[in-house]
Structure 1
Amino acid sequence: MKITYQWDPLQPLNEVNIIANEKNQAEVEKISKHLNTVTNLSVINPTNDRKLLLPLTEIECFESFGHLCKVFTKEQDVYLIQKRLKEIPKMNLHHFQQINNATILNIAMIQSFHSGEHARLEVHTTTNQSYIVSRHYAKQIKEKLQ
């Protein structure tokens, strides 16, 4: 199956149009179902050591915590994941970007940003949290936000 893209600046950001032959309806529905599925991540609740599945859309950021990572949610709950921070990009999590040596942030949660001192970027999320983006990652973040 051949896929062609048409970019329209007037198209709303939260809408994608798919035009296909009616004989390809099953394939298009599979693609749509795949795009709309919410991926879960297995995390550990540190208060009782129970594992639970957390939707990726609920995660605000990952922070390094020794050989583990802390997982912060929209509601500011804290969970643990048994992976190092450098292993998280290998999990192919969409909408997540490393912002400094200790933090990976959900780009979809960013509400605003402004320049800080020493060529750093200060990012504010929808949960009123503030994060410092190191100058090494500032350009990548700016490109993703524009």
Structure 2
Amino acid sequence: MKVILQETMDGVGHLGDLLDVRDGFARNFLLPRKKAVLANSRSIKAFEHVKRVAAEKAKKEKLEIEVHAKNVSAVTLTIEAQVGKDDKMFGSVTSKDLAEALAVQGFTIDRRKIQLAQPIKELGTITVPIKMPREVTATVTVRVVKKQEPEAAAEA
């Protein structure tokens, strides 16, 4: 009996596969549990249509994500860090700090999507990748600079 799988099943096939299975397996397991539908010309055409619509929707969604990634990549973050003798930083800049700085710029990015291998512990400029949905990656330039002390407080 020919069936079209409605979901991916280990050892059987993937979503949308057209399979030739035994009649008992189809009647007793696949069809009652709605894991497959009978493969006639009508169901094949309907499934192809659904697949085409989903592909177009995914393509449009990926374009929107790429535009968003381009906007995020255009941003340069400047983070002021407190430094001591010999420009040695107190603490470090983490992905949480980067997410907060991006939020100030108007971009809501989950800190777990910021792919910072280890916290930034030095002054300078670093490019940090940000993982977006649909295998899209944006890169943000982060400048870590010395925090300027208020001159009025230093003189008083």
TM over 0.5: same fold? no
| Greater C-alpha Rg | 2
More helix by share: 2
User: TM-score, normalising length from structure 2?
Assistant: 0.28
Q: Relative to total residues, which structure has the larger strand share, 1 or 2?
A: 1
| Larger RCO, structure (CA 8 Å, separation 6 or more) | 2
